Structure 1
């Protein structure tokens, strides 16, 4: 979370309070944890931004810097609990795509407060008409989920078997070390050989014991099945699929393409460039763009240049006699 983000109520920023923790609720408007404790001391209150009734127990830590993203994630989770049909439930890909598009429209409307009441009515009508399939699909796993569940179970069984094998090996090794230590004490007490020879012999036996223990076969790691990738067109590729890539076409010799900049007859004055728009002051008549527009690739000079071209285009037009 960047340092310029602050609580909209108390204006405390991350820069002034590094321990600042923003919380969000179903409405998506953030509040710091201190303001939540102060405003929701009775357990429920209204949001200071939109006046929606909220409960303190529904606040959660804000994960994304944009509160609108937090709101969309929360709405998406709730919508997908009921709109849980799979691709296998539809007769054609077009019907499934229309179903996905319908879900995205619902999420977009609720996130941006567009026709909220009618959108909620659509959701309720869908629940009434499809309550049987909703309850059935809640306990039904998709193919990907079934594959993941199988991998998790296989990993658990493998780890349990690996733990048992290693515990047996460690137990045998510890018993061998104990017997070697007891034999060393007996030899030092009863043997007529010098102590340095006895210690050297047991040291070599200990090294051989550790070497044999290190050479024992270890449980192999679990082998995952090769992953399968599906493109948006439905084509499955990978070692675990029957589809293969098409062969690479042979390169045919042809003429090298040369780009030629197109020319347009404006039938009027030549269009102004970006530098001319700033120097002549035309850009001052265009509103400042927002950060979201700038992120989308929208530049302030585009509408200014287009408006001037449309204004002067055709001034020199002469109809044919």
Structure 2
């Protein structure tokens, strides 16, 4: 249960209490923060470090060390933002990451704080240009990792390829599209200048119109086919459909009960009665046979295999 170290207020007595925490890692309730830091700055009641009121944030984790560690990681991430390509070997990059974890641990548990802060300042001054360049790159890519950046580039390339294909097909369609319909002025001029009957001229123009419509339909079908083939050849990140017969489930036939028992009529033929004691006449008269005892023995020998 959370408790304010200053006013000793607990969540049990005040359900609306909100705990705040700063870089030093010592939590305070919101009421104490408002009263102690009324002038926007003041010392921490526990460690005496000068804190700013705007530096407090709401505590999420119950352990203040975790909150302090997260704050340190956010601060170091702005400085130690080098990527794998900034190192010659993977070993150097791994040592770099391991050193970051060591510094986080030192600052969180206040171990060699001055030496660690001096190392951070030295790294920031020696790699200022590289850090600034990676910071601009990170802001441009909205803090995406390498895989997300690669996926975004591939999607953009796919979009541009589809766009160029559609534009090319649209241009070809507009340049090769036949003139549908016949100008009424051309028909009137032909009727005026020609000696042929009007029915013949109209039939000829009607045939030209039908041929133009058929050619347009063939061209449209050809463009659709080309578009479909282009879409199949274009890379896509969607899951591909698997062609073939649909899957049909067949329940496996497992011999859970072991091999089948022989029939009672075949026990003598298969030699099962060789070691069975001969039944006396009294028991035989009561209906008990050697096959009955043999089947009972076979059944008991594999009773643990049966799946009831």
Pairwise TM-score range, normalised by the shorter structure: 0.3 to 0.5
Higher RCO, Cα 8 Å, sep 6+: 2
TM-score (norm 2): 0.47
TM-score of the two chains, using structure 1 as the length reference: 0.45
